[in-house]
Amino acid sequence: MILPDKTDFLPEDGFCELLDAILRKNQLQIYAKDEILRKFYALACILREENAKYNLTAITSDEGVALLHFADSLTAAHLPTHGASLLDVGAGAGFPSLPIAIVRPDISITALDATKKKTDYIGMAAKKLGLTNVTALNARAEAPEMQSLRESFDFAVARAVSSLGMICELTLPYIKVGGCFAALKGENADSELIGASQGLKKLSARIISDEKLVLKPKDGDGANTRRIISIEKLAKTPDTYPRAYAKIKKSPLF
């Protein structure tokens, strides 16, 4: 028997079946529609093709991409209200922004990242997939050129960028008053929550929910615990935030 090597990926129908099963197992079945599944297969192909040229992600296996990139990103897809504007801070290879864009054509998404290669990739992938609701923006969140975007998004997300205290300072200035930021975290977020309510007061914000969910693979018992921490912006962020990155890092608000 010849064992498949690492570059042997499932063909379109097989990948769509796998993603369909994973979405159903994780109560994400509203997204398990043929047209959507095929778009995700196309995104997996684009991701792997570009990943072979430069490093975008360490996760490339069929189940890894379907579960840890696609399904994980989709756990936040229902959160923005209809027609909302969404900012993804530190979008990297487009997670969670690109999966959300595929299933939410009604919202307009800005995918922000400090690395040009990554925003170029997001722009290219969105174009290839025919996603007209995604704009890739190459800038650092704390950079002065971001000032014009203060208080301008209804909603924000961020996954795997920095500690909660740091990412809140980098993200909340760009949300409208009354808007919400959903931080996608792993199970060990407890230590990041120490001092959060005091720190968030300085940013005129507060935690409104802390949802634990379990991301289940297609087969077997393995599971990844996830947390979505939602933060509401109560009033305008003081102009002093975000501070320079070195300051945020040296003395985070919490």
Residues of the shown chain interacting with ligand SAH in the complex, contacts defined by CB under 6 A: 90-93, 95, 112-115, 118, 140-142, 159-161, 170, 245
- C-alpha closest to that of 117 among 143, 91, 96: 91
- What is the smallest separation between the CB atom of 254 and ligand SAH, expressed in angstroms? 17
Spatial separation of the C-alpha atoms in residues 1 and 154, rounded to whole Å? 54
- What is the smallest separation between the CB atom of 1 and ligand SAH, expressed in angstroms? 35
Please, are residues 102 and 131 in contact by the beta-carbon 8 Å criterion? yes
Which helix H or strand E contains 251, and what residues bound it?
A: none
Pick 3 or 231: Cβ nearer ligand SAH:
231
Ranked by CB distance to ligand SAH, the top (closest) residue is 92
Pick 93 or 180: Cβ nearer ligand SAH:
93
- What is the smallest separation between the CB atom of 207 and ligand SAH, expressed in angstroms? 20
Pick 56 or 205: Cβ nearer ligand SAH:
56
- What is the smallest separation between the CB atom of 89 and ligand SAH, expressed in angstroms? 6
Spatial separation of the C-alpha atoms in residues 10 and 17, rounded to whole Å? 10
- What is the smallest separation between the CB atom of 181 and ligand SAH, expressed in angstroms? 14
CA–centroid distance for 60 within its chain: 17
Pick 36 or 68: Cβ nearer ligand SAH:
68
**Tokens describing residue 151:** 């208080």
